Structure 1
Amino acid sequence: MQTKKLTTLLAIAFLSFSMFSQQGNSISGKVTDQNGKPLSNANVYLKNTNYGTSTNEEGAYSLTNLINGNYVLVVSEMGYKTFTSQQLEVSGAVNLNVRLQEDISALDDVVISGAGKIEYVERNPSSSLRLQQELNKIPQNIQVISADVIEDQQSISMMENITRNVSGATMIEHWGNFARINMRGFRIPPFRNGQNVLSPWGPLAEDMALVERIEVVKGPSAFMLSSGEPGGLYNVVTKKPTGVSHGEVGLMTGSYNTLRATLDLEGKLTDDNKLQYRFVGAGTTQEAHRAFEEQNRYTLAPSVKYLIDDKTSVTAQYTYQYYKTRLIGSAYVFAPSEYASLDRDFTLSDPKLGPAIMKEHYGLVNFEHKLDDNWKVNAQLAYLNYNHSGSSLWLNSQFGVKENGDLIRRIGIWDAEEEKKLGQVFVNGKARTGGISHIILGGLDFGKNEYIADWSQAIDIDTEENPFNIYNPQPLTVAPVFDRSIPLTQRAGGFLSSDYLAYYFQDELGFFNDDLRLTLAGRYTEMRTNSYGSTSSDNVFTPRVAASYSILDKLSAYAMYDQSFLPTQGASEDGNAFDPVTAEDVEGGLKYEFGNGKWNVAAGYFNITKDKILVPGENPNFSVQVDSDITSRGFEFDLRGEVLRGLGVVLNYAFTNVEDKNGNKIVGFSKHITNGWFNYQFQERQLRGFGVSLGYQYLADRSTWAWGADGETDLPDYFRMDGALSWENNRFRVALNLNNILNEYLYSGANYGSYIYWQSEPGRNFRLSLNYKF
């Protein structure tokens, strides 16, 4: 059945390729300097498409096999101003000669690069991040993981080392369905298209086929939210219509019987190009380095955009994600005292356990209207429905793990439903009062989330008389059976809900020809939460003050003060509601663009303090609120872009230390994290199109997330090396990625005193992909 579904998807992909592929359409010409001298190796591409090339020794270029449509040609070369054409209507052969002027300014952004181009740098945030300023001038550390980086590393989902591309970010273990990402010692919430989709056990990790870029914002980030942990957030920007007709089909195979197909089509539905469409689809079947962990995943994401006029547009997107695996939590391994004391592929699972099935429906409607050249309004509504049916594995904690390896596996039901309703309206504008400029952002956010789950049923599948032995595992004789005879809403043992309404206003004031930029902002949030019957009601104002100064044309220094709050449920023994946990962030740093915007560097220091945490009181039935003074401080460095012609680099380092006022370490971080990814595209004509990549990840002094480990872990340092070989032209791309080249036994885990647990990563493995663009 799985093979049949995948075969159908492949058939659709290749049928679409046959329908859309056309011959004979082309744009060609010659690129020269202002004196008529030919320019070789100049970058030539069609904006927002997959078409791209470079000029030869005579300055000639040619883009062939184009689809009928309208295009914008862009030509760039270091030392010259970037040329951007008017819209070109292509229904045959078009000839366009370009003469570049010296004294180049900043390069334009490109979302999808052409063959041989390296686009690791994004100079502006997406519109869903609401900000109207260049990233280099925003007084905060914001890193963007571009489409090229995702493609080069052949990531399949958010569960796979996406964090390596941002300083200090790390994925803290998993249950198999969602990515728990920590930064600066705290879990950061996931956003999708500018809206918070965080849930207690989710959301379902996005398939990378959906993703245009990922924006990682560090610090409390009051312009997006104020309620939550103060480490930051990551915003997944999904693919939507761009107005240009193109398509791409991809196939992938690899270790653990990986088979994957992807499809990305977009174009126009009307001759006037006012009604545009895009369709993204992906299907993956995959096993793991452990037995009994087969995965099947399918994703469908159609979207349309309607241009009402040149100032107004409406975009609608629907996403369906289906994910089926064997048993949630099967990645955990328990042992008496020594990490990695069992084979890397050891499992506590069994073929009789499972499956777990997750389904997600996500809908988004966005309305954008330009009031004039300086002001625009944006409104969007989103709906997310998530359904989870399955079970999860842990061990009987009272029995623990005996020295001889005996333990009792405990399987618990995990059926859950979640519903999110999200909305936002915001206005962006620019104005002047005398010699002071203003970049203004104002609006409101609202949301309602309900999560119900049945965790009430749990079964020990082993007994004290017949335990499971990790050194001599035996197959399970009888699978556990849970009672699902009544609806989930009637048997749910867990109910969590929240609703909020927040108002936000920000003014960035520019002085001295905008070299000095002062940001004044504040957010007022009304939030109500309910967790297992314990409620909280908070009305909180969180201010934000920041400054950025352009020391040189491309060198900026910034400083920021920001706040966040975290709701707390319940009440004290006296019946008084608890105050929300508050956090303050003070940070500052430098940002610099090199090579006319081709690569940049950001470095900064941060200091975050949290207070008022809940601890057990003298009466065990009640908690008390005390000043905690948890402090997270550190230094971060990020470099990304094309540092030399053909050499793309992502390089970062973070020092983080999180501790309480007594100097005790708090779980959830590694003190030292550094990552690197280096991709070289050969520039010699004989090797044009070939590329080689090499990357590493290194974590030292690790303290993972573990509720029972009291911040103390004895994990070894972590070092992983990956690499890739690739070849591409305007149509084809072939890539071979080799992960964990050194075949290290890599894992995360924690010491619970009487036993330890860990999760292992795969050994050396590969992925081979073929993509065709049309």
Structure 2
Amino acid sequence: MKTKILFTLLCLLSTAASFAQRGGGNISGKITSADGNPVGGISVELVESGINAVSNHEGIFQFRNIKAGNYNLLISLRNHEEIRQTVTVENNKTAAVNMQISLQVGELQGIIVTGNKNSFKADRTSQSLRIATPLLEVPQNIQVVTNKVLASQSITSMSDGVIKNVSGATRLEHWSDVYTRVNARGGRLAAFRNGVNVTSDWGPLTEDVSFVDHIEFVKGPAGFMMSNGEPAGIYNVVTKKPTGIQKGEAAITYGSFDLLRASLDLDGKLDKTGKLLYRLNLMGQTKNSFRDYEFNDRFSIAPVISYQLDEKTLLTAEYTYQHVTMSDLGSAYVFSTDGYAVYPRNFSMSNPGIEPNKVGEHSAFVNLQHQLDDNWKLTAQIAHFNSKQRSSDIWPNSVQPDGKVIRDLYSFDGHIKNTYGQAFVNGDVNTGKVHHRILAGVDVGSKEALYDWGQMFQIDSANGGEFDAHAPNYGKPANGFPVFDRTTPLDQRAVSRVNQSYTGLYFQDELGFWDNRIRLTVAGRYTFVKDQDATTIESKKFTPRAGLSVSIDRSTSVYALYDQSFIPQTGRLRSGNPPKPITGNNIEFGVKKNWFDGKLSTTAAVYRIIKNNELSADPTSTPAEPYSLQLGQSHAEGLELDVMGEIVNGLSVVANYAYTDAYVSKVSESYGSVIAKGTRIAGFAKHNVNTWLTYTVQGGALKGAGVSAGFSYQIERSSWSWTTEPSRMALPNYFRLDGGLFWERKKIRLTANVFNILDEYLYTGADYGSYYYWQAEPPRDIRFSIAYKF
């Protein structure tokens, strides 16, 4: 049945593509820099129609099927003079234009806006990833989820389906949108925002998409770019910045489960010269749930100011505040001794009388970019995060075969304070016939975190006062509700503390030979970390990196990579000893190709990652005592395929497949009896397939209308937690079908999306030995939105 539905959708899309109406004329242009080189990644707007095109690596851009008439082309680079050119379009003819930018190639890094609002594909990463190399030439699998993809899928936050756009990614511990944990390649992807590592045990607060421009996924070690990060990789959330174009957009979304959401995006100039620019994003949202008594309300404020100090220096300051009010953290968890999904999807073991949880996160960035000369650029950045949560977590004390449960309610207050500093230079120079792309820099940072989960209150009682899952009563529980001690400062009652500082120094030289057709990357990183709690522990290590990328032709490259990792960890071991740092290495081989004049990109990669001393949750721990285990060694091996871009005019695709095999290869002397050799790593699917197709009618009465459809399919899923191999009950395979309709014309866009079209009972979970637990996903979920541009 599922195969027939997918086949029908593909046939409909193919038919729509073949009957797309054509007419009018075309515009074909080329963009060059002041030194005569072609410039890719530049967005050109056809002012009268409001549509955009992006130049490819040869500087070529095109507009097709344009109605005959006179038009204005506009290039608006951030904080630089606008470039305009008129063009006349005639029926059945192609108008040729040339547009030159006043800057040289070396001055464009960080000015070109990555991706494009009308493209599923990006050719470069953001300036915050620090590399100046086009994605086609980087010896590593890096995927960029553009804002066009986010909009087409009606994604509202980092925990709202972003991962289906990247091969092999899965999501764990989704505490009602509090934070996002993404796994890939057998491990956790470190969470970055604008180039700084904001990962914590329970954080960062998941980013709302209202202030997100795009998201970059770097597979494998990213130390050569970021000075730290997990061996499995990172995801880097890049926030919206001023563009210098006076514009705005207001949007309203209404959906299932009482979703009501409004957002406003304002972008423009604060002075006539265009030196002082601003960007302001506001969002407010209320949302209930398909589960009884569950809700999640949030708002965010994100102003950004940039000032062009002189022709070569740009200063940008941004601030973001996110606030969440929601039901208790454990409200999504359901427990039973009989197996998974034995109760209805809307079933809850929580209680509406529990005090709502509140989380507030402040973050601030100050970024300075200075073009030293035509070939060298300096970037410096400081950032600070301050997040507080006042929350609780419900968890069972016991689960009986007859459905009787005694529930404990734990406090779960937290306070995170992180401060970061960065400085790096990018160079583009030649020595004889060898071309050098140089990256060198320093990272410093400190992370402080306090958590109090030490207060526990049993809200149910034995011998008649239990919560009965077969006949639930959501009134006041037998023992009532606790009043946790919050008069004592968190610093005094915290049961978990993190106090870590680090310094990283790194250098990379990408040497280009034979007109840059062959690129050899040589890099190294020195990391020094100090952990201070009851005692002070210092860790340091030098880790090398080597990569080779070869251009077979202008659109095809093959690569090989070797990289090492060194990641100090924070966690709580039963021995009382501090956890050892993660060490390991990554070997990767791949091939990248751009198709259809650069509109479509494909990446195929195979890899092997070895990690020593990785931490994982202790399956015998509880919320009151959340201990970790330190593994001996783990292996992750696999294959990844990623496809992004436009197949034919109007038909775009995001498709990926990943085969992942991750397992414990050596057991720890301390925990070999708990986690045996050969045990599968928690939290991934052996086979993971995702597809999203979007077709937009290009002409005629239906111009701007379109249809989207896609699916996610996971086979042989491992659970969230460690279990005896083989598990008593394996998680079933996962299949989800989504789709939507949209219409966009000039300033208005209407969108209707349906998630889980087949209304499947979808969930993730784990076998905890004495009982099972799971979290269900929503049933069929419909969203309508209208956006107005001005």
Q: Which of the five TM-score ranges fits, normalised by the shorter chain?
A: 0.7 to 0.9
1:87 aligns with 2:82: yes
Give the stretch that moved more between structures: 459-468 or 550-559: 459-468
| Secondary structure of residue in 2 paired with 1:408 | strand
Q: Deviation of residue 112 (structure 1)?
A: 7.5
Q: Deviation of residue 224 (structure 1)?
A: 3.1
TM-aligned CA distance change 1:285 to 1:710, over 3 Å: farther
In structure 2, the residue matched to 1:540 is 541
In structure 2, the residue matched to 1:60 is 69
1:471 aligns with 2:480: no
Q: Within 2, Cα distance between the matches of 1:568 and 1:731?
A: 49
TM-aligned CA distance change 1:510 to 1:637, over 3 Å: same
- The letter of the residue matching 1:60 is G
Contact 1:44 1:55 in 2 (8 A): no
Contact 1:536 1:568 in 2 (8 A): no
- The letter of the residue matching 2:766 is A
Q: Within 2, Cα distance between the matches of 1:627 and 1:385?
A: 32
In structure 2, the residue matched to 1:663 is 678
- The letter of the residue matching 2:784 is L
| Secondary structure of residue in 2 paired with 1:716 | coil
| Secondary structure of residue in 2 paired with 1:542 | strand
In structure 2, the residue matched to 1:417 is 415
TM-aligned CA distance change 1:488 to 1:655, over 3 Å: same
In structure 1, the residue matched to 2:505 is 503
Contact 1:249 1:264 in 2 (8 A): yes
Q: Deviation of residue 133 (structure 1)?
A: 0.6
Q: Deviation of residue 573 (structure 1)?
A: 12
- The letter of the residue matching 1:694 is A
| Secondary structure of residue in 2 paired with 1:540 | strand
Q: Within 2, Cα distance between the matches of 1:386 and 1:341?
A: 37
Pairwise mapping of residues 276-295 of structure 1 onto structure 2 (< 5 A)?
276-295=277-296
TM-aligned CA distance change 1:187 to 1:534, over 3 Å: farther
Q: Deviation of residue 764 (structure 1)?
A: 0.4
In structure 2, the residue matched to 1:588 is 589
Long gaps (5+) in structure 1:
1-28, 35-42, 64-69, 75-84, 617-622
1:763 aligns with 2:779: yes
In structure 2, the residue matched to 1:26 is none
In structure 1, the residue matched to 2:88 is 97
TM, length-normalised to structure 2: 0.84
Q: Within 1, Cα distance between the matches of 2:567 and 2:333?
A: 30
Pairwise mapping of residues 402-441 of structure 1 onto structure 2 (< 5 A)?
402-441=400-439
Q: Deviation of residue 611 (structure 1)?
A: 2.4
Contact 1:556 1:591 in 2 (8 A): yes
In structure 2, the residue matched to 1:39 is none
Q: Deviation of residue 308 (structure 1)?
A: 0.9
In structure 2, the residue matched to 1:339 is 340
In structure 2, the residue matched to 1:13 is none
Deviation per CA, 1:556-582, whole angstroms, max 9, x where unpaired? 000000111232579999999875331
Pairwise mapping of residues 237-252 of structure 1 onto structure 2 (< 5 A)?
237-252=238-253
Q: Within 2, Cα distance between the matches of 1:574 and 1:290?
A: 39
Q: Within 1, Cα distance between the matches of 2:50 and 2:333?
A: 45
Q: Deviation of residue 103 (structure 1)?
A: 13
- The letter of the residue matching 1:729 is R
| Secondary structure of residue in 2 paired with 1:728 | strand
1:518 aligns with 2:525: no
In structure 1, the residue matched to 2:142 is 142
Deviation per CA, 1:438-488, whole angstroms, max 9, x where unpaired? 000000001101001211101111112221111111124222221212222
Deviation per CA, 1:218-273, whole angstroms, max 9, x where unpaired? 00111234545311000000001111110000011010111110000011111100
Q: Within 1, Cα distance between the matches of 2:393 and 2:544?
A: 42
TM-aligned CA distance change 1:62 to 1:657, over 3 Å: same
1:72 aligns with 2:69: no
Q: Within 2, Cα distance between the matches of 1:571 and 1:389?
A: 22
Q: Within 2, Cα distance between the matches of 1:358 and 1:714?
A: 35
TM-aligned CA distance change 1:387 to 1:432, over 3 Å: same
1:647 aligns with 2:656: no
Q: Deviation of residue 96 (structure 1)?
A: 3.7
Q: Within 2, Cα distance between the matches of 1:709 and 1:205?
A: 32
Contact 2:616 2:631 in 1 (8 A): no
Long gaps (5+) in structure 2:
1-23, 30-41, 53-62, 100-110, 618-626, 666-676
Q: Within 2, Cα distance between the matches of 1:97 and 1:563?
A: 56
Q: Within 1, Cα distance between the matches of 2:365 and 2:631?
A: 41
Q: Deviation of residue 395 (structure 1)?
A: 1.1
Pairwise mapping of residues 680-699 of structure 1 onto structure 2 (< 5 A)?
680-699=695-714
1:123 aligns with 2:127: no
Q: Within 2, Cα distance between the matches of 1:86 and 1:571?
A: 55
Q: Within 2, Cα distance between the matches of 1:614 and 1:163?
A: 23
Q: Within 2, Cα distance between the matches of 1:577 and 1:173?
A: 24
Q: Within 2, Cα distance between the matches of 1:157 and 1:420?
A: 22
Q: Deviation of residue 170 (structure 1)?
A: 1.0
Contact 1:109 1:122 in 2 (8 A): no
TM-aligned CA distance change 1:388 to 1:126, over 3 Å: same
Contact 2:48 2:71 in 1 (8 A): no
1:305 aligns with 2:298: no
TM-aligned CA distance change 1:30 to 1:681, over 3 Å: closer
TM-aligned CA distance change 1:557 to 1:499, over 3 Å: same
TM-aligned CA distance change 1:630 to 1:524, over 3 Å: same
| Secondary structure of residue in 2 paired with 1:273 | coil
- The letter of the residue matching 1:642 is E
Contact 1:44 1:52 in 2 (8 A): no
Contact 2:47 2:71 in 1 (8 A): no
The root-mean-square deviation of aligned C-alpha atoms, in Å, is: 3.2
Contact 1:172 1:181 in 2 (8 A): yes
Pairwise mapping of residues 105-504 of structure 1 onto structure 2 (< 5 A)?
118-176=118-176, 177-225=178-226, 227-396=228-397, 399=398, 401-465=399-463, 466-477=465-476, 478-504=480-506
Q: Within 2, Cα distance between the matches of 1:152 and 1:563?
A: 37
In structure 2, the residue matched to 1:620 is none
- The letter of the residue matching 2:516 is D
Q: Within 1, Cα distance between the matches of 2:25 and 2:277?
A: 32
Q: Within 2, Cα distance between the matches of 1:336 and 1:387?
A: 35
Contact 1:226 1:563 in 2 (8 A): no
Q: Within 2, Cα distance between the matches of 1:698 and 1:290?
A: 24
Q: Within 2, Cα distance between the matches of 1:273 and 1:467?
A: 66
Contact 2:539 2:568 in 1 (8 A): yes
Give the stretch that moved more between structures: 472-481 or 647-656: 472-481
| Secondary structure of residue in 1 paired with 2:492 | helix
Contact 1:646 1:683 in 2 (8 A): yes
Q: Within 2, Cα distance between the matches of 1:50 and 1:536?
A: 61
Paired positions, count: 706
TM-aligned CA distance change 1:569 to 1:680, over 3 Å: closer
Give the stretch that moved more between structures: 566-575 or 367-376: 566-575
Q: Deviation of residue 175 (structure 1)?
A: 1.8
- The letter of the residue matching 2:88 is N
TM-aligned CA distance change 1:350 to 1:154, over 3 Å: same
Contact 1:71 1:244 in 2 (8 A): no
Q: Within 2, Cα distance between the matches of 1:540 and 1:261?
A: 48
- The letter of the residue matching 2:492 is Q
Q: Within 2, Cα distance between the matches of 1:56 and 1:485?
A: 68
- The letter of the residue matching 2:473 is Q
Q: Within 2, Cα distance between the matches of 1:127 and 1:658?
A: 32
TM-aligned CA distance change 1:48 to 1:513, over 3 Å: farther
Q: Within 1, Cα distance between the matches of 2:137 and 2:201?
A: 35
Deviation per CA, 1:261-296, whole angstroms, max 9, x where unpaired? 000001111110000011000000010111211221
In structure 2, the residue matched to 1:67 is none
Contact 1:110 1:119 in 2 (8 A): no
Deviation per CA, 1:94-116, whole angstroms, max 9, x where unpaired? 95437745999xxx9876757xx
1:634 to 611, 633, 638: 638
Q: Deviation of residue 44 (structure 1)?
A: 9.7
